[in-house]
Structure 1
């Protein structure tokens, strides 16, 4: 269901024109009153756990009338609209009313007060809510995964800024990007070195803000002290002049670019439904029927999109109804269709993977552990809170579904993302042309493995922690290219060069080092892939390219200590963002 966002969409153009007008008003104010004076109008919020924000009395879930089902403005919710439209909820014994509530704190209040048994959000939002539920003597059960974000969300940075040097980031408080930002900076080992500046809204609101800046994108335009902003992809494209480099016109920010989107980090933002545990315990079979209806909706949408040419009437009805619910007007069909390209529906098979870990490390348990650790550091949670899984029998749940898989069946082999010959040409040409900058340029994360002289094997018994760190990074960033690069110590070459060795001998030493480093990189690649397989994680091997750098890029060019001498012997995993070049690697269709 992945597709490019239509840049010529009328609604996006209209929204962009309004933002341009506001941008020039802002620019005029800056010129009149000075930048810092105006920048102070950004209304930054103090982060605090939702348990300190939500103040309601807990009441039993209402059982009279239709059950209110929350949605948010996200492509994954279109399948929910179709499930309601097709009567799938009714078939499962539910009388539902869908409503949109993007104010997550309000959603939490409604759930605790009994207006609805359900919560709809990302795993980050659900974990933040769990803290409030605990404070009110309640618990949550996650019952269904809808989607992964695979391009709908991005981090935009100013010129010269990247994960390794960002100091300030703007984002929405209690929104879908909290766990996205936390994951990126935790993996970069810089979570405690970044100041997060929180704002109320996800994007520029339509209401009168009375001169205050209340969204991260407007704050990024106005406040030059912000190094980066977490935002949805239409805003990321606007800030970066269409996904290139911002030129400062039409609401873009000069020098701004997309550092990465969820096209790369495609296993961070997981959208789910959760339910109050007291309601779940009393209505388990009924809630299972609710999940079955959602799964039927996903399958019906899958079929509809695959054959929409012959089902135009139903398709247009769905898009119009979704536009009304999710965007507030039935005419906003272009924006609604664009939402579909931002997400990957997981279906029955994906729910098995998410809740049981079949074929992946990106599970409910893993995400909960990661998110809560980061949120405690950021002051967004007061402590560890258990979040339960529904523990469904997926064979029973899959009965009658068209695309269901057996729960015990092996995880399917992934689709090959890249043409390995094209990857080889790309990497080797880049390494040759950019030898000094390749290791850092475009690299999001790295894992270094050090080895002893004359060592050619890299057993799991010694390197299990390194392999586990690499596995977490590559499984999270499934859109990234992973280069595994071998390096040798240049000491012998430097010594012989000083002793006046011939150019022929030096060339031979250099080539020998390159050959050995390639052998070691290949050994690490093979051992790592076997490690992942033994862990039950299915990886696309076309994403992993081994290369030998030899003595060309030592960690310490001038070795002054024994430690530096040892650290020049290394194999490095580089997690590369290649969103701009990704099309170059796609295999040709046969």
Structure 2
């Protein structure tokens, strides 16, 4: 009874500290009394509508109840899987002792942590990172919104305390926005048969945008294109942002009660290890596409049937996230240099919850602190070698086509960084740009699925002089005398009564110079990142040498406009460092 009174009083304190606002979110709490976790039985284990559940279900024997020959069964573990997407209902079972484990994103644990302070035995401790979302979550917008900047003052729907809080927080931070810049429409449900879902709010015009899971996004946007208004879609709806680009925004975990971890540390350690083993088995099964894979997909769909309607939807969900495995678990929980580690993500989410009123203060959250090196030595797990994120040839083709069609800048995820060069200069001094690159590195830590286009430009004046000389012999003679002693390709062009071949050489030389400048900026950025112990996949960069095709002075018909001032002339000698999303071209990404 004392514990119940303590919980109620703590809830009242939180409620009293809560300040109402347009985006206000009351603290996550339940009125249930504390209960001991029942020992000696098959523990109820929550699973959610997410591709990460494949590993849990497979480790359980591709069944809702643990089978004797499953990974869990052979280790003496036993679970009854319960599909539950409601954070409140999960928290109730956790507090009363129905289960010792909470399932959700990092943020879902953050939401309940302060309430659970009424009893230290209930403090949530992260025991495993299962996956990170790499395409399974999406931001769908209605007509009139095309970029993240357009979200200012717009109504955005998402499930309160749900998995998309983490995505919303990272998205706003990436766009340079805060909770104060948008208006939140909270829903109680998430997807499927739930009532009051984010997709409902968008369809009913209660919201201008919604954070949803991918198959809801595909329905709203008529198969990932533009919504037609039929078959559950919203006319004009489009997906503008997914976790395929911001692939380090949403991390999902299991949290264990502190009291249960203290008395069952070995069992929970085995639980975490076997989920990682299960992930490795599933990757192999998915590649083989044999009976084992079919059994895994069938079990996944059956257990999550409230929200996953059919086999095809279930199979797609496996590709919505990337298994963390041993390497990312170790990095996420123990590496202080990893810019998206557990402590950093927790702190970022707590800031947002405090702003919303759902928390009153920041507090540290704990993880189990497993010996990951020992797990590797045990022989069941290994560090998976990193694979390229992008197919370089396909990326180059996509960027070239976007550039040709004039739509490349529509994919921008952030304002480009502009680097100016002096005449004929190709070396790049990074020192003045370190503050800009520091900000970019922080954003790229979240947007690991984005592409960096390094776009080089050159001054068109030399080409324009050659072009004029090709039409004006007197001008050619005059310029020949002025440039004869200077050498270079422009001088060579002017000395020959230039024709198409000479003009083409000048244009190519300008393109080559723009490429050298772009490579210089790219190499300096990669070197600077390495100084900070950060590495980037080389396939994530593409060089786009524009030469004189897109001068800052503009185009006059089919040729560059002549710069009018010295400043105009120098402004053309530049490199633009762009971060874009290319997720619509799925073939540019390497498959698992």
Q: Of 346, 349, 352, which aligns to 2:327? A: 349
CA shift digits 1:288-318 (9 cap, x unpaired): 1221232232233334334452xx2x55544
* Aligned 1:435-474 pairs, distance under 5 A: 438-439=408-409, 441-450=410-419, 457-459=427-429, 461-474=431-444
DSSP 3-state at the match of 2:45? strand
User: Is residue 2:582 matched to residue 1:578?
Assistant: yes
1: CA distance, partners of 2:330 / 2:209: 35
2: CA distance, partners of 1:178 / 1:582: 25
Match of 1:363 in 2: 341
DSSP 3-state at the match of 2:132? strand
2: CA distance, partners of 1:93 / 1:465: 53
2: CA distance, partners of 1:378 / 1:83: 38
Q: Of 152, 159, 169, which aligns to 1:172? A: 159
Match of 1:219 in 2: 201
User: Is residue 2:388 matched to residue 1:415?
Assistant: yes
| Residues 560/200 of structure 1: CA separation in 2 closer, same or farther (3 Å cut) | farther
2: CA distance, partners of 1:323 / 1:552: 52
| Residues 204/303 of structure 1: CA separation in 2 closer, same or farther (3 Å cut) | closer
For these two proteins, the number of residue pairs brought into alignment is: 523
Quote the offset at 1:120 in angstroms: 0.6
| Residues 303/520 of structure 1: CA separation in 2 closer, same or farther (3 Å cut) | closer
2: CA distance, partners of 1:115 / 1:189: 42
Match of 2:186 in 1: 198
2: CA distance, partners of 1:371 / 1:280: 24
DSSP 3-state at the match of 1:254? coil
DSSP 3-state at the match of 2:224? coil
Quote the offset at 1:201 in angstroms: 0.8
Match of 2:107 in 1: 124
1: CA distance, partners of 2:22 / 2:83: 24
Moved more, 562-571 or 393-402: 562-571
| Residues 568/543 of structure 1: CA separation in 2 closer, same or farther (3 Å cut) | same
2: CA distance, partners of 1:552 / 1:239: 39
Match of 1:299 in 2: 280
CA shift digits 1:125-155 (9 cap, x unpaired): 1222223334655532211111122222111
* Aligned 1:527-566 pairs, distance under 5 A: 527-549=524-546
CA shift digits 1:67-116 (9 cap, x unpaired): 22221122211221221224333443433322222111221232233322
2: CA distance, partners of 1:511 / 1:127: 56
CA contact (8 A) 1:484 1:574 kept: yes
Quote the offset at 1:217 in angstroms: 0.8
Match of 1:48 in 2: 25
| Residues 459/94 of structure 1: CA separation in 2 closer, same or farther (3 Å cut) | farther
| Residues 527/55 of structure 1: CA separation in 2 closer, same or farther (3 Å cut) | farther
Gaps in structure 2 of 5+ consecutive residues: 1-20, 62-68, 480-489, 495-502, 555-560
Give the aligned CA root-mean-square deviation in angstroms.
4.1
Q: Of 411, 435, 455, which aligns to 1:485? A: 455
Larger Rg: 2
| Residues 367/447 of structure 1: CA separation in 2 closer, same or farther (3 Å cut) | farther
CA shift digits 1:357-402 (9 cap, x unpaired): 4996433233223322333334443221212222211122234444
| Residues 61/449 of structure 1: CA separation in 2 closer, same or farther (3 Å cut) | farther
TM-score (norm 2): 0.76
CA shift digits 1:148-205 (9 cap, x unpaired): 2222211112234121112321111111111112211211112231212111111253
DSSP 3-state at the match of 1:266? coil
| Residues 297/414 of structure 1: CA separation in 2 closer, same or farther (3 Å cut) | closer
User: Is residue 2:217 matched to residue 1:236?
Assistant: yes
2: CA distance, partners of 1:281 / 1:563: 68
| Residues 425/63 of structure 1: CA separation in 2 closer, same or farther (3 Å cut) | closer
Quote the offset at 1:258 in angstroms: 1.2
Match of 2:235 in 1: 254
DSSP 3-state at the match of 2:414? strand
2: CA distance, partners of 1:381 / 1:282: 29
| Residues 166/509 of structure 1: CA separation in 2 closer, same or farther (3 Å cut) | farther
* Aligned 1:287-436 pairs, distance under 5 A: 287-309=268-290, 312=291, 314-328=292-306, 332-357=310-335, 361-405=339-383, 412-415=385-388, 417-420=390-393, 422-434=394-406
| Residues 373/518 of structure 1: CA separation in 2 closer, same or farther (3 Å cut) | farther
| Residues 334/520 of structure 1: CA separation in 2 closer, same or farther (3 Å cut) | closer
Q: Choose between structure 1 and 2 for higher RCO, CA contacts under 8 A separated by at least 6 residues.
A: 1
